[in-house]
């Protein structure tokens, strides 16, 4: 390519939720914006996370100069450990974002020490031909930034994820002035978050949550158990402040919740009142009306802290009659069954469970709605526009929102998908082919095995170690085992030819069931995970083989 061509290449996050990553290339220099992952759907058995295919960047790694991060959500930083194991470049981000990156990197043993370079809003850095200024934006996570990338052909504005919150709880306002200044000087291309483009109006301020929370804390007679996303530092601050006001102490429960609150506190982003924290193991010993539990697991993940509390399987915390449980989060599509099952368990114990849409709200989105998107479009007034971050219907709606700018200098909008190349030169902008993209499935349980195609992974797994089905018939009303478990195997010779082994495996399943309470047995997700884990442990110990283990639970 000639030196006077600018290429913008989304490698993930367009036409899908998650895996946000964009490469920007000018001549022989490339910067990557974000490096996210997504959680697998139910069809991706055995997969822990899904990340973008990095083939394009690996093939051009001598030109890759840096990764620049907009904020610390997993769908923007989750694939970094895998990226940095292949491509050694500096990573720029705010201190909080990089602290979350460090936490992820600790779980992986990289051969090279990562080069993490902290930046602050209003700061600018020069990376090859790109001068990048960081612009503070409001979002559901603290320390989020947009990027103004000055290239030899003009300025690219990348909003990252944002909403225009006029009254942020930390009073750190969205820097609309800097955005408007760039708009006045002229912006070549706007890349803007499309997540809520199908939602009219404005997204409510984070402060809108306080009235509902105040009401809950003032009327609750038992424990208050609040579940929210661990990255929602503003929400966590609100829970701590209200607990102090009403004389409650707070137990922080769940690995991610503990880790992120420690990071935020150490960076001065979370103020924890003196003597308010309570060890989880002491929470049940205090009067119920003196305790708040701040817990992770809003999406009903089978082994999360809140899911275990719901079925009375947590070592420190349980919910009882008179307790109030608050899900201060959105229900992510696809998780409805797991979340409502979890709510059912807690309601059965007599807890008052609050969730979903209310007015005043329990939760507000961190993404801009249509009117805020129009505001950003009007301030920036780009020559070209490319919606990012969202499924195709949201990208299309966002492009329609920009139509009114046709009379104010907007030449064209490009609704692209991951892998499409947008090429810009002095003559204008156009689509210019595709680069290889896709998803790579990571099964960290198998020593970081990277799986490019699930079919290949399953075929290899089945051909090497076979499959073991544990078939269990449970009465959903009594939780009783109706028939002895049946162990069926294919391609797993030990089980097929050794009746003693099969009988021992049966007993492992029986023991798992006997060690589970009735509510766990009624929760298929929890039971399948427990049976699979126990059976895997036994088979690996006895045979050093790792067959594909699939529990099948029949409700009879």
Catalytic residue annotation: 193, 367
Q: How far apart are CA 128 and CA 253, in angstroms?
A: 44
Residues 6+ apart with CB under 8 A from 184: none
User: Could you count the other beta carbons within 10 Å of the beta carbon of residue 399?
Assistant: 18
Look up residue 170 and give its DSSP letter. Answer: T
Sign of the torsion angle spanned by Cα atoms 125, 103, 144, 80: positive
Q: Which token pair is 381?
A: 């007034």
Using CA atoms, how far residue 484 sits from 173, 459, 468, 487, 509, in Å, is: 62, 30, 16, 10, 9
Q: Which two tokens stand for residue 461?
A: 């797994």
User: Which ranges in 221-301 belong to alpha helices (H)?
Assistant: 233-246, 255-266
Distance of alpha carbon 465 from alpha carbon 276, whole angstroms: 52
Q: How many CB atoms lie within 10 A of CB 276?
A: 14
Nearest to 81 by CA among 419, 448, 446: 448
Task: List 290's β-bridge partners, or say none.
Answer: none
Q: Is the peptide bond before 348 cis (omega within 30 degrees of 0)?
A: no
State the Cα–Cα distance between residues 469 and 78, nearest whole angstrom. 32
- DSSP letter assigned to residue 361: -
Q: If we measure between CA atoms, which residue out of 210, 152, 160, 185 comes closest to residue 28?
A: 152
Ramachandran sector of residue 375 (left: φ over 0; alpha: ψ -120 to 50; beta: rest) = alpha
- Among 103, 4, 16, smallest CA distance to 53 is for 16
Return the number of other C-beta atoms located less than 10 Å from residue 278's C-beta.
20
Question: Whose structure tokens read 């299309």?
Answer: 396
CA–CA separation, 263 and 162 (whole Å): 22
- Kindly report the three-state secondary structure assignment for every residue of 171-206: CCCCCHHHHHHHHHHCEEEEEEECCCCCCCCCCCCH
- The CA-CA-CA angle for residues 497, 498, 500, to 5°, reads 160
Ramachandran angles phi, psi of 322, nearest 5°? 95, -15
Beta strands in 290-381 (DSSP E): 291-295, 324-327, 352-354
What angle (nearest 5°) sits at the alpha carbon of residue 314, between those of residues 223 and 275? 50
């Amino acid at each position: 390519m000639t030196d006077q061509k600018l290429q913008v290449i989304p490698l993930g996050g367009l036409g899908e939720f998650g895996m946000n990553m964009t490469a920007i290339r000018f001549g022989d220099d490339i910067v990557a914006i974000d490096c996210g992952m997504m959680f697998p759907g139910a069809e991706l058995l055995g997969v822990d996370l899904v990340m973008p295919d990095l083939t394009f960047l690996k093939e051009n790694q001598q030109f890759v100069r840096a990764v620049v991060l907009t904020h610390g959500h997993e769908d923007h930083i989750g694939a970094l450990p895998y990226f940095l194991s292949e491509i050694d470049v500096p990573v720029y981000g705010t201190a909080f974002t990089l602290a979350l990156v460090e936490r992820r990197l600790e779980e992986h043993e990289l051969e090279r020490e990562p080069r993490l370079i902290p930046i602050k809003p209003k700061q600018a850095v020069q990376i090859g031909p790109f001068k990048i200024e960081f612009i503070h934006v409001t979002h559901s996570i603290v320390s989020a930034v947009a990027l103004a990338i000055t290239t030899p052909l003009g300025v690219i504005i990348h909003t990252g994820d944002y909403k225009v919150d006029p009254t942020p709880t930390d009073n750190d306002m969205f820097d609309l002035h800097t955005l408007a200044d760039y708009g006045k000087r002229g912006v070549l291309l706007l890349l803007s978050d499309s997540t809520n483009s199908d939602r009219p109006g404005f997204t409510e301020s984070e402060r809108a949550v306080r009235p509902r929370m105040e009401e809950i804390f003032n009327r609750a007679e038992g424990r208050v158990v609040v579940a929210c996303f661990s990255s929602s530092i503003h929400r966590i601050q609100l829970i701590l402040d209200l607990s102090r006001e009403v004389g409650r102490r707070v137990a922080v429960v769940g690995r991610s919740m503990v880790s992120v609150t420690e990071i935020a506190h150490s960076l001065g982003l979370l103020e924890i009142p003196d003597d308010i924290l309570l060890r989880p193991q002491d929470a049940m010993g205090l009067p119920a009306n003196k305790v708040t539990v701040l817990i992770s697991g809003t999406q009903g993940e089978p082994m999360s802290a809140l899911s275990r509390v719901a079925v009375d399987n947590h070592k420190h915390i349980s919910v009882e009659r008179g307790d109030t449980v608050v899900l201060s989060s959105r229900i992510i599509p696809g998780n409805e069954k797991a979340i409502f099952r979890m709510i059912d368990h807690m309601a059965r114990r007599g807890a008052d469970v609050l969730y979903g849409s209310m007015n005043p709200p329990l939760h507000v989105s961190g993404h801009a709605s249509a009117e805020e998107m129009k505001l950003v479009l009007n301030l920036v007034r780009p020559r070209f526009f490319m919606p990012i971050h969202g499924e195709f219907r949201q990208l299309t709606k966002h492009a329609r929102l920009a139509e009114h700018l046709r009379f104010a200098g907007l030449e064209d909008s490009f609704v692209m998908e991951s892998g499409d190349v947008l090429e810009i030169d002095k003559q204008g902008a156009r689509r210019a082919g595709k680069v290889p993209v896709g998803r790579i499935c990571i099964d960290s349980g198998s020593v970081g095995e990277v799986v490019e195609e699930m079919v290949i992974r399953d075929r290899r797994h089945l051909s090497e170690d076979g499959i073991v089905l544990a078939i269990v018939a449970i009465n959903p009303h009594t939780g009783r085992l109706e028939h002895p478990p049946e162990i069926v195997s294919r391609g797993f010779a030990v089980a097929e030819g050794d009746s003693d082994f099969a009988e021992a495996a049966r007993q492992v399943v029986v023991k798992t069931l006997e060690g589970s309470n009735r509510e766990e047995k009624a929760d298929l997700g929890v039971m399948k995970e427990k049976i699979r884990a126990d059976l895997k442990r036994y088979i690996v110990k006895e045979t050093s083989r790792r067959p594909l283990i699939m529990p099948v639970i029949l409700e009879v």
